[in-house]
Structure 1
Amino acid sequence: MKFRTLPGTDLQLSAVGMGCWAIGGKWWGDDVDDRRAIAAIGAAVDHGINWFDTAPLYGHGHADELLVRALGARRHEVVIATKVGVRFRGGEGHAYSDLSPDHIVADCEASLRRLRLETIPLLQVHWPCERDTPLEATLEALMALQEGGKIRHFGLCNYGSKPLERALAHAPELACLQTPYSMVRREFEYALREVAAPAGEQRLGVLAYETLCRGLLTGKFSATPPRFPESDLRHRDARFQEPGFSRVQPLLAALRLVAGKLNLTPAALAIAWVLRQPGVSVAIVGAKSPEQVADNVRAVDAMLRHKVWEALAPHIDRARL
C-alpha cells in the first residue's frame, strides 16, 4: 500500500480507502451480507487500508455498527471518516440535509456513541444544507467541535467550487472536499485544478468517491444493460441504461484487455487512473467482500505504468458521461 498525507493535516491515509455505503445493507441490493462485510473490513486492514469512510445514512447507522464489530479495539488505530447533517422525514422517509449548528452537534455526538470513539478523526458535511442554514454558521459549529476535542479535522462533501472558495475564506483549517470523480464522471475536474491545487502548495485534500462509478467500471457488466432489483439504487441509475451504458462499453473492453495483460482487474485500473490525477489525494472505493477489497488495492500496482495510460487515454476521453 502507498500512503499520502492529507494537505494541512496530520492524517496519513492509504491511497485507497474503504467506502462503507454498500455494507450498510440499504439501497445496494439483496446480496449484502453482514458476515462478508465484516470479512471485507478485516481484509482491508490486512491489505494496508488504514481508513474507512462511513456515514449515519449508510444503513441508518448499520455500517458504523459493522465497523465497530469488525475492528474492535483497532478502530483507535485507523482513521474513521464519517459525516454529519442528514435527517429523515418520518424516520424512514426521504433524507435531507439539516446543517443547523444544533443538529450538527447532536449528529456528531450520536456518531461518537455509535462508533465508540472519544474523537472523530475526520467529520464531513454530507451535502449542502436544504434548510437555508448559512454556510458560515455550519463552519462555526464544526470549528467549535474541533476546539472542543470532539473531532480532529473537518471537511465538506458534494460542494461546488464557489461555495468551497467561500468556505476556505471563512475556515482556512478546512481539511478536504469529498467529491465524485472517475474515468466517466469528471464534472469536478476544473475545480480540482483551480481550487484544490492552485499554483504552489496544495491547500485542500480531495477524497474522490464513485471511482468505480457504482461498479460500472469493474468490467463485470457488458453486452446488455444489467437488471437490478428495486432494492438496489442502480435500478434507477441512468449510467446502467441506454444510451450511457453502450457509450462506456468501448472503454470497458480496453480496460479488460489491458488488465488481462497486466494480471490486474479493470477496477484496479479505474482506481489507479483517479489516483494519478492532479489534486486528488486519495480514493474511496466501496466493497462488499474480501475479494473486492483485494481487487481494489491492486490499483497501487498500476499507477506508474505510463505506457498503459498513454494507450488508454483516447478511450477514457471518449467515454465521459
Structure 2
Amino acid sequence: MEYRELPGTNIRLSVIGFGCWAAGGQHWGNDASQDDFRAAISQALALGINWFDTAPLYGHGQADTLLADVLRTEHSDAFVVTKVGVRNAEGSRPVSDLSPAHIVSDTEASLKRLRLETIPLLLVHWPCDFGTPICESMTALESLKLSGKIRHYGVCNYPPVLLEQVLQCGNPVALQTPYSMIRREFEQQLRDVCMPKGADGWPRQKIGVLAYETLCRGLLTGKYGPDHRFGANDLRAHDGRFSGDWARKNLTFVDSLRPIANKLNVSLAALAVGWVCQMPGVTAALVGVKRPEQIRECVKSINLISFTELWHAIDRRIRRYASP
C-alpha cells in the first residue's frame, strides 16, 4: 500500500480509502448483505487501507454502527472520516444545517455511534441551506477541535468560491470532492484553490483532496451496459449517466479502455482508481465497494500509479470519448 501525508497534519493516509455509503443499506440496491460489508472492511484493513469514510446520512447511522463494530472486532485504530450538518427535514429532502448548535449535537451523536472519544476528521457534508455564515460554522468546528471531540476538520462538495471563504475563516485540512475520468470539475477551478501557485510559480498543496465517485457510481467498472435497469431502491435508476445518449457515450469510452486493462491483467476499476490517484492535487481516493473481491481489485491500482505512458494513453481516450 502507498501512503501520503494529509497536508497540515502528521497523518499518513493510504492512497485508497474505503467508502461506507452502501453499507448504510439504502440507495444502492439489495445485492450485498451486512456480512459482505463486514468482510470487505476486514479485507481492506488486511490490505493496508487505514481510513474509512462514513456519514450520519448513510442509512441513518447504520453505516456508522457497522463500521464501529468491525473496527472494534479487528482491534483497529483506523482513521475514521465522518461528516456533519445534514439532517432530514419533516416531509422534505435532507438539508444542511450548519448552525453551531446542530454541528455540536450532530458530532456528539456520531461519537456515540462510532464509539470514539475523538473523531479523527470531521467534514461538513454539504454547504449550508439556511444561511449560517461560514465563519460562524468554522468557529464551531474550531471549538470542537479545542474540546478534543475532533482532531481535524474539512468540507465536502464545496465550490471554489465557498472553499476560498472556508480557508479564510478556518483551518480545514481536507476537501472531499467528486473526481473521475468522466467527472472532472475539480480540474477547472477547485484544484487551483487547493494548490495555489507560490511566489516561485510552483503550486503548493494548501489543503488535502479526498476524491470520491472515482468509479462514477460503478459506471467505470464496465459492469453496467446501456440496457441495465437498476431497482427502485437504487439511486442510479435516476442518474442520467446510466441512460440514454449520455450513457452510450460514456460506455463507448469505457469499452475503449478494455484492451488496456486486459493487457495489464487488471480490472477497469483498477484503471479508474489509479487514474485518480496519480492526478495532481489528489491526496487519496475513495472507493465504494460491497465485497472483499472488489476492494482487492481496486487496490491493484497502486501498482499502476507510476506508469506515466499508461496515463497518457488513457488521457487521449478521455479527450476523444469522455464527457467533460
TM-score normalized with structure 2 length? 0.95
**Pairing 1:211-250 to 2, within 5 Å after superposition:** 211-222=214-225, 224-250=226-252
Q: Deviations over 1:185-240 (max 9, x none)?
A: 01121234311111243110011000000000011123x23100010000000000
Deviation at 1:258, TM superposition (A): 0.8
Counterpart of 1:60?
A: 60
Contact 2:21–2:288, Cα closer than 8 Å, also in 1: yes
Q: Deviations over 1:234-256 (max 9, x none)?
A: 00000001111111123211222
Contact 1:175–1:204, Cα closer than 8 Å, also in 2: yes
CA RMSD of aligned residues (A): 1.3
CA distance in 2, matches of 1:76, 1:138: 31
Q: Deviations over 1:279-310 (max 9, x none)?
A: 11100110100011111111111111122122
- SS class of match (2:59): coil
1:49 is aligned to 2:49: yes
Sort the Cα spacing of 1:151 and 1:73 in 2 relative to 1 into closer, same or farther, 3 A: farther
Counterpart of 1:118?
A: 117
Task: Give the counterpart letter for 2:12 in structure 1.
Answer: Q
Identity of aligned residues (%): 50
Deviation at 1:277, TM superposition (A): 1.0
Counterpart of 1:101?
A: 100
Q: Which runs of 5+ in 2 are unaligned?
A: 198-202
- SS class of match (2:188): helix
- SS class of match (1:277): coil
CA distance in 2, matches of 1:320, 1:7: 31
Contact 1:125–1:157, Cα closer than 8 Å, also in 2: yes
1:141 is aligned to 2:131: no
**Pairing 1:1-321 to 2, within 5 Å after superposition:** 1-72=1-72, 74=74, 77-90=77-90, 94-171=93-170, 173-199=171-197, 200-222=203-225, 224-317=226-319, 318-321=321-324
Q: Which runs of 5+ in 1 are unaligned?
A: none
Deviation at 1:89, TM superposition (A): 2.1
CA distance in 2, matches of 1:233, 1:35: 22
CA distance in 2, matches of 1:119, 1:306: 40
CA distance in 1, matches of 2:140, 2:84: 11
Q: Deviations over 1:119-165 (max 9, x none)?
A: 00000000001111111111010000001100000000000111111
Deviation at 1:74, TM superposition (A): 4.9
- SS class of match (2:227): coil
TM-score normalized with structure 1 length? 0.96
Deviation at 1:93, TM superposition (A): 5.1
CA distance in 1, matches of 2:137, 2:124: 9
Task: Give the counterpart letter for 1:275 in structure 2.
Answer: C
- SS class of match (2:122): strand
CA distance in 1, matches of 2:137, 2:74: 31
Contact 2:276–2:282, Cα closer than 8 Å, also in 1: yes
Moved more, 140-149 or 245-254: 245-254
CA distance in 2, matches of 1:94, 1:31: 25
Moved more, 69-78 or 8-17: 69-78
Q: Which stretches of structure 1, 4 residues or longer, exceed 6 Å deviation after superposition?
A: none
CA distance in 2, matches of 1:41, 1:127: 26
What number of residue pairs does the alignment pair up?
A: 318
